[in-house]
Structure formats: C-alpha cells, structure tokens
Amino acid sequence: MEFCFLTACLVGAVALYVVFSWIIPRAVQNNAWWALLWHDRITERVRDHLTGSTRAERLLKAVQKNARRGDPQSVISAIDHYCRHSEWAMNVGDEKGSILDSVLSEVSPSCALELGTYCGYSTVRIARLLPPGATFVTVEFNPKYAKVARQVIEFAGLQDKVKLIEGASGDLIPKMKELFGNVTFDFVFLDHWKDRYVLDTKLLEDCGLLRKGSVLLADNVICPGTPEYLAYVRNNPRYKSTYYKSHLEYTKVEDGLEKSVFMG
C-alpha cells in the first residue's frame, strides 16, 4: 500500500512537472494575454516562493555561472539561453535584439539614453556597440533591478561605458543637462513603463534633449502595446516612423519595435 502511494505521488509529481514545464508554456506561445499572464505573473511568483529569490537574481546567477567575465556577447547569450529554456523574462530578447543592434549600428550614437534598464540585458547590447568615448545613460526606477543590472554590466566588462541612474524617468529627464552637461541624445531606447512612452517623449522634446535626426526606438509597441505612443509618433510631422515586426521575447506572439526619427 505504501509503495503504491509513493508511486502515485511520483507519477503525479512528474505529470505536474510536464504540465507546468512543457505543456502550458507551449500552449501559451501564440496568445499575448495568456503568455504574459503565465510567464510574467504565475510562474514568476511560484518560482519566487519556491526559491526564496527573485527572477532578476536568478538571471544574474545564470550569467555568473554560464557567461565569460568581460565578454558582453557571452553575457547576452547566457541570458537568452536562460530565458528561452529555463525562465522567461521581459528582456528585448534575441530576435528583437538583432533589430536593436542593426538600428544602433546605423545611428552610431555619440550620446545614447535607455529608459528601463531592468536587469541590464539591453544595456549590454547597446553598450558593446557604442563608439569609443560615447556617453550612455540608462535609467531604472526599481532599485532591486538596478542592483542586478550593475552586476550584469560589470560582469560584461562595460561598467566604464554605462552611467546607470536610479529614479523615475519623469523626474530624471529634466535633470539630464544638469547631470551630464549640455547633452542631446542621438539615440533613445524606450523600454520602461508603457504609459510613460508619450509623456517621456514629450519631456525629451521640451527639455531640448533631442536634435534633428535623433532616433527613438520603442520596444513592446504591440505587446503589451503602446497605442497612444504609436498614434503620437505616426501622426506627428516632427517624426518619421518605421515599424519593425517581430515577436514578444522568447514567444511566437507578435510584437515589434517602432523606430522614429526626430525631424526637428
């Protein structure tokens, strides 16, 4: 009887593992709402409870274990592998990351801004492609994310290329010239709170932080979606916009990047 009970428990445990690790993740791959609910709500909270750590901390451990110190590309690859095969995270990801790389290489900015550092994945992607002497400022509201991001950036050997500042974008954008001199940004990557995209773009304009030809690249414009931002840049004569169709990081859900050139 005891053997049968233990066998039933083992079979049940294996079945639950298969359901939660394989069946459900594949079932939600094509549905935006279910993918975000499953990956960004349910599994994160379960893992946090079971491990006593956060997703950001687990991602950092994956970098420290699998990447080579001082090698930005290996850090990117380690995060991509972890997020695709172990635990989803809302980085820009490998597919959209290649678009980010392409736009960034085209612009070759001497002064760049990132809104939304998260764990430092896109920060590393951007910093590794900047020309020597470039100024790169990244803004993160969550101090726990900022702490992890600093360690990821340092592990990649890019700490001297990145100025990470903590706080709300709405508070920090008006202080950029005070903090970093008479800067204007050639490139801005928006990947923070989606309801801040329009507000912060207008702040960048009002504070004189954009010049003619400055490029704004916005992530997640389809999923979770930024309809107000798309309406703003697509219907504004001050911008010339292009949409790059892709997928939500590590899924098959449609998402994309919006590149908007500031015309002055």
Q: Is pLDDT at 15 greater than 50 in this prediction?
A: no
Answer yes or no: is 79 within a domain: no
Answer yes or no: is 55 within a domain: no
229-258: pLDDT as tens digits: 999 999 999 999 999 999 999 998 999 999
Answer yes or no: is 2 within a domain: no
Give the distance from CA 42 to its chain's centroid: 20
79-97: pLDDT as tens digits: 999 999 999 898 999 999 9
116-174: pLDDT as tens digits: 999 999 999 999 999 999 999 999 999 999 999 999 999 999 999 999 999 999 999 99
Q: Is pLDDT at 21 greater than 60 in this prediction?
A: no
180-204: pLDDT as tens digits: 999 999 999 999 999 999 999 999 9
Answer yes or no: is 47 within a domain: no
pTM attached to this predicted model: 0.88
Q: Can you list the alpha helix ranges (DSSP code H) found in 40-184?
A: 43-51, 55-66, 72-85, 93-107, 121-127, 143-155, 169-172, 176-180
Domain of 106, CATH number, reads 3.40.50.150
Catalogue the active-site residues: 191, 194, 219-220, 249
> Domain limits at 174?
93-262
Say how many domains are in the chain: 1
Answer yes or no: is 116 within a domain: yes
Answer yes or no: is 7 within a domain: no
pLDDT on residue 13: 45
Rounded Cα–Cα distance for residues 205 and 201 (Å) = 6
